[in-house]
Amino acid sequence: MHKLNRAAVQRPACLDNYDWNTQTWDKLHGQNKKRVRLSLQSMQGQQIVDDASDDEQYFIVGLRCAYCEGQIYYGGHIEHFRRKNPAHYPALTFEWTNLFIACGSKEHCGHYKDRPSAPPYAPDNLIKPDEHVPDDYLYFHTSGEVRVRHRPGMTDNDRRRGAETIRVFNLNCGRLRGDRQKAVNLYLSRSKRILEDLMEFEENDRQAFIDEEIEATKWEPFWTTIRHSFEKLHA
């Protein structure tokens, strides 16, 4: 999970045509849903390319789930951060700031959060990646595990937010831990001896190299795990 910049993306004007008092989410379809999806993909991915032969087909490079950072290949699931059903936050059904793109997994992330058997949770106690800086709360270890970060000045509420985010989105499920570890190992396998060579650099050169590698991998799935592994080397 990493910080998303919603301000860099234009809000889809088509959302103004919908009223939660009289319409449900199912009424958003066709071109309007595509416009919403494309705006979210622009916030969470890069290099959107339309297929001119069929305007319903498009390809995304670097699109990742807002919560787990797993790669999304086929558009993804439009996720309501605060649940849109009548018992929760129906007034936010068409609210732009309540929407993200999430993976379709039932084991973690949005579908897991809102499954019928889910224990209760308070959305205000979760990391919202377009409002909070996830790095302030979470550390992604090279083992694949997500841990609550311990830093100077961190409050009990901060620690609670980190722990609740891990629990509610099930970010430490076995599949995600394995996928994160594979992402780091795949990167290292493409860059043999990188860690050994890095330790021989002068401090300034080492930091410059780390910065370059972080930038070069920024659209990789599970980028935060790769990034944190580099940052730990320079800590």
Dihedral sign, CA of 183, 187, 192, 195? negative
What average pLDDT does the chain have?
A: 87
The CA distance from 148 to 162, in Å, is 5
Return the structure tokens found at 16.
């103004």
Alpha carbon distance 33, 38 (integer Å) = 9
What proportion of the chain, given as a percentage, has pLDDT over 70? 86
pLDDT band at 126 (very low <50, low <70, confident <90, very high): very high
Give the phi and the psi of residue 114 in degrees, each rounded to 5: -110, 20
Express each pLDDT in 144-201 by its tens digit. 999 999 989 999 999 999 999 999 999 999 999 999 999 888 777 766 566 666 667 6
Eight-class DSSP state of 198: H
Residue 56's pLDDT band (cuts 50, 70, 90): very low
Range among 12-26, 30-44, 204-218 rated most confident:
12-26
Contacts with 91 (C-beta within 8 Å, 6 or more apart), sequence order: 20
The torsion defined by the Cα of 140, 142, 143 and 145, in degrees rounded to 10, comes to 0
Q: Is the pLDDT of residue 48 over 60?
A: no
Residues 112-116, mean pLDDT to the nearest whole number: 94
Mean predicted confidence (pLDDT) in 201-230: 80
Average pLDDT over residues 92-121: 95
The residue whose two tokens read 């929760």 is 88
* Location of structure tokens 């700031």: 97
**Three-state secondary structure call for residue 107:** coil
Which is higher by pLDDT, 202 or 98?
98
